[in-house]
Amino acid sequence: MSDTSEQPRNSSELSPAQRLEAPNTRLINASIATINDMDTLRACIAYENQHQQRVPILRRLEKQAIELRSQDDDD
């Protein structure tokens, strides 16, 4: 029998703090790359603006927004 608490969580369930407070930039970049919706992206941008305001992270979030918009245009 498997324990359901050990199953991996859906990436959309991660909070902005969990996504953006990772110990290194590779993890932050990977976390940003898994954002698949604009609501989550907006929450992360707001969190970053309110807390650390790191320009490279905000640029990466902007790049992800562009990618999401282009995917919406393709649909």
Q: How confident is the model at residue 10 (pLDDT cuts 50, 70, 90)?
A: low
- Write out the two tokens for 49: 């603006």
Provide the residue count of the chain. 75
Higher per-residue confidence, 7 vs 74: 74
- % residues pLDDT > 70 (the chain): 83
| Domain residue ranges of the chain, discontinuous segments joined by + | 15-74
> How far is Cα 57 from Cα 1, in angstroms, rounded to an integer?
41
Q: Name which residue leads in pLDDT, 73 or 1.
A: 73
Spatial neighbors of 19 by CB under 8 A, at least 6 apart, are 28, 31, 32, 35, 44
User: pTM to 2 decimals?
Assistant: 0.80
Query: Could you tell me the pLDDT band of residue 54, with boundaries at 50, 70 and 90?
Result: very high
